[in-house]
Amino acid sequence: MAGKKRDLFVGTSESKLQMTSMIDVVFLLLAFFVVTYKTPEIEGDFNIRMPIDAQSTAQPSLDDLSPVAIKLTSDARGALVGIRFGETPVSDMKALRSAVYQYANQNSTSFQDAYNGVGQPEFRNDLEVELDCDPQLRYKHAMEAITAVTGYLNSNDQLVKMVEKVKFAPPKS
């Protein structure tokens, strides 16, 4: 009996893994993830200018250093009640856009001509705007102000960029 093998598992069948169905499921999952993958859109166009290597002896003017202040005031319920561009009050967002256009434009193209597609305005690329908003101001009014100062679509549906640098003033304590 030493040379005889004993079958301990008499009557049991050997179980096999079905590799074909597993491979099908893996390929279906792969196809699903490939089809549903969305590439992230670029969130912003960061226009970064590096400093020149040579040292400058001239001091920059105060106008170049300080951002243009825009003050948005609200009532207790968060409704917009006032807009100031620098020290000048403006009536609405369209007037704010016009004021920023006049301040930032370096040539004589009028806002209405530029909106109608006649002439191309040239804006200062170093202009920075600082929004000073009341704490209770509704978010939509701040977004309307940002939209008003950053640019517009002219009558030919072309994007005209005015200000690329917008920041919020630190909260007052």
Write phi, then psi, for 142 (nearest 5 degrees): -65, -40
Q: Could you report the per-residue pLDDT of 105-116, keeping only the tens digit for each?
A: 755 555 555 555
Pairing state of beta strands 80-85 and 151-153?
unpaired
Split at pLDDT 50, 70, 90, the class of 146 is confident
Query: What phi, psi does 134 have (nearest 5°)?
Result: -65, 145
Average pLDDT over every residue of 17-30: 90
The SS3 of residue 143 is helix
**The overall pTM is greater than 0.75:** no
Quote the mean pLDDT of the chain: 76
The structure tokens listed for 93 are 């967002």
Q: What is the DSSP letter of 113?
A: H
Whether the Cβ atoms of residue 99 and residue 122 lie closer than 8 Å to each other: no
- Which residue ranges make up each domain of the chain? 63-168
